[in-house]
Amino acid sequence: MSTPHKQGARRRALASLVVLLALPRRVLAQPSVNPAPGIDARMLNTPQGTLQSILNGAPMRRGRVRLELPPVADNGHSVPMVVRVDSPMSDTDYVRRIDLVSEKNPVPLVATFFLGPQTGRAEIESRVRLNGTQRVTAIAQLSDGSFWFDAVDIEVSEAACLDGS
Amino acid sequence: MTARIQVQQEARRGGLIEVRVLIQHPMETGFRYDSLGRQTPRNVIHRFECRYGGVEVFRAAMGAGIAPNPYLRFFVRAVESGDIECRWIDQENVSGSVSARVTVTG
């Protein structure tokens, strides 16, 4: 029969097996599909990481998307934002999602909007927080899987005090 | 949480319905400190969805990058008379909803 020492080794082996089983789930759970920025931002804390998680290696082209931000914002706490995508929004040709990525916010992914043919028109308006003068990028994924983007430079006089400074 | 939804009451079949939603919520970033130097925990509405006649037509995953008292304007294609219902939930698991009825003609 097994000695206590051997049992300990077996326990360790079992424990490492459990860890091994849990690990891929953790990796899969990283927000490559639906990055809800408020919840799981660990992998998304750089603009590059955010872009990577959205594109997953696919190329993106400039065009079809129009991001509207004022050229100058006095107050970064609330900046009006409109994003439009040139799409017929038909059953076969529509916009799947639109991601907004900030260059300087502590959490670069501002929001993700999920659309479909039922949305009728690919136009969304909201108000965003911006932590300083920067470039904001809107990325749209169409139903054929292609990515399109628009980037806008905005000067923010008073940054939203996102980092507590 | 108080919220307001603005939708036109009538729409033509196949036409567009403009939905405007305004929710009263601080969208706490988690980077703010109170007068005693304690950090205010992050609490944002992270999930927002809109259903029209029971079918999801629009969804948003939001973060602290959305300004306090979040405002959203989006479109929905008019299909049948029914309710446009928006629901959301924040990180303290407080949820809210607003709805409006649309009559589709033609």
Could you tell me which of B24, B48, B35, B46 has the C-alpha nearest to residue B92?
A: B46
Q: Can you give the CATH number for the domain in which A75 is found?
A: 2.60.40.2470
- ipTM exceeds 0.95, yes or no: no
| A13 assigned to some structural domain | no
| A82 assigned to some structural domain | yes
A99 lies in which domain range?
Answer: 58-158
B37, pLDDT greater than 50: yes
> Which chain B residues have a beta carbon less than 8 Å from that of A109?
63, 65
Residue B7 CB contacts under 8 Å (≥ 6 apart), including other chains: B17, B18, B19, B20, B84, B100, B102
Q: How many CB atoms lie within 10 A of CB A165?
A: 7
pLDDT (mean) for B71-86: 94
| A41 assigned to some structural domain | no
- Provide the pLDDT for residue A127: 95
Residue B33 CB contacts under 8 Å (≥ 6 apart), including other chains: A164, B39, B40
Nearest to B76 among A111, A119, A161 (CB): A119
Two structure tokens written together for B23: 């929710």
- Candidates A74, A95, A113, partner chain B, best to mutate (most B CBs within 10 A): A113
Q: How far apart are the first and last CA of chain B?
A: 36
In chain A, which residues touch B (CB < 8 A)?
Answer: 34-39, 41, 77-79, 89, 100, 102, 105-107, 109-121, 123-130, 160-164
pTM, full prediction: 0.80
| A128 assigned to some structural domain | yes
Q: How far apart are the first and last CA of chain A?
A: 64
Counting the structural domains of chain A, the total is 1
CA atoms of A152 and A72, how far apart (whole Å): 11
A114, pLDDT greater than 60: yes
Nearest to B73 among A118, A119, A124 (CB): A124
Query: What pLDDT digit, counting tens, does each position of A120-161 carry?
Result: 999 999 999 999 899 999 999 999 999 999 999 999 988 776
- All domains of chain B in start order, with CATH: 3-105 (2.60.40.10)
